[in-house]
Amino acid sequence: MAESFTRTARRFFSPEAIIPFLFGSIALGVLSNAAFTLLTNQLGTEGPSILGIAVGSVAILLLAVWIVSRTLTSRDGTTAIPGKRPPKQHRGLILLVSNLPTCEKAIRFHGSTLERVWLICSTRTLENATQLRRDFSKQIPDEPFIINDVNDPLEFHAAIEKIYEHLPEDWSGRDVIADYVGMTAHGSVGVVLACFRHDRPMQFTPAKYDDNLKPIGPLDPIEITFDSLK
C-alpha cells in the first residue's frame, strides 16, 4: 500500500503536474481563506480546532492525490487495439526487463491478484530491475535472472524453464503468465519457445504512439493464445 501511494504521489508532483497544481493553488487561495474564516467562526480559534482544520486539510490533499492518480490510470488503461483482449489477472508474472514505464504497466495490470514477479534482465537493464525490486518489493523478493548473452534465445529459454520448475507449492504453470516483449528479439524467441510447447500463458505490453509514430507510453497488456493453432 505504501509503495503504491509513493508512486502515486511521485506522479502527482511530477514536473508536468506541479506547475498547473501551483497555479491552481494560487487561484484557490481566496476561496481557501474564506473557507478557513468560516470554519474558525464555527469551530473557534482554540488549539484543538486549528489542529483539526489542519489535519482535515492534509487528508483532503491526500485524497485528491489518490483520485487524480486513479483518473489518470483509468484513462491510460486501455488496449486501444481492436480485436485484442487483455489477459486475465494472474498470480505470477515473468518479465523481460526493458524500460520502467512498460514494466510497471505490466506489473500493475495484474493488481492485487499478483503475488510474485520474476525478472529477467541483462547487465544493461540491471539498474531498471533493481528499481523495480525497490518499487514492488513484496512481489519481487528474488534477485533477477541475469542473461549473459542477450543474443542467445536458449539462455532465455533456460531461465524461463528454471522459473517454472521452481514455482511455489500449489502453483501450476497456468498461474503464471510470461511477458515476452522486452530486451532483444532473441529474448522474445526464447520466451515463446519455453511457453508454446507447454501451452503456458503469454502476454505482451504494447506501446502507445503519437501521430509521428513515436512511442509515448505503454498500453495494457494483450493476451496471446494458441487456440487458433490447435
Whole-number average pLDDT of the chain: 80
Q: pTM of whole model > 0.75?
A: no
Total count of residues recorded for the chain:
230
216 or 139, higher pLDDT: 139
12-21, 73-82, 105-114, 181-190: range with lowest mean pLDDT: 73-82
Query: Residue for cell digits 514505464?
Result: 101
Mean per-residue pLDDT, 43-68: 64
Q: What is the CA radius of gyration of the chain?
A: 23
Query: Above 70 in pLDDT, residue 22?
Result: no
Task: State yes or no: pLDDT of 170 exceeds 70.
Answer: yes
Q: Per the structure block, which three cell numbers stand in for 204? A: 505482451
Nearest alpha carbon to residue 91 among 102, 73, 104, 107? 107
Report whether pLDDT(34) > 90.
no
Q: Is the dihedral of CA 130, 134, 140, 143 positive or negative?
A: positive
- Average pLDDT over every residue of 42-59: 63
Structural contact between residues 136 and 107, judged by C-beta atoms closer than 8 angstroms: yes
- Is residue 230 scored above 80 in pLDDT? no
Q: What is the dihedral of CA 94, 97, 102, 108, to 10 degrees?
A: 40
Which range, 19-23, 74-78, 83-87, has the best average confidence (pLDDT)? 83-87
Helix axis angle for 47-76 and 29-43, nearest 10°, is 140
Instruction: Give percent above pLDDT 70 in the chain.
Output: 62
Separation CA 121–CA 164 (nearest Å): 17
State residue 77's pLDDT score.
46
Q: Please give the domain boundaries of the chain with CATH numbers for all domains.
A: 2-76 (no CATH), 92-229 (3.40.50.10770)
What H or E segment, with its residue span, contains residue 37? helix 29-43
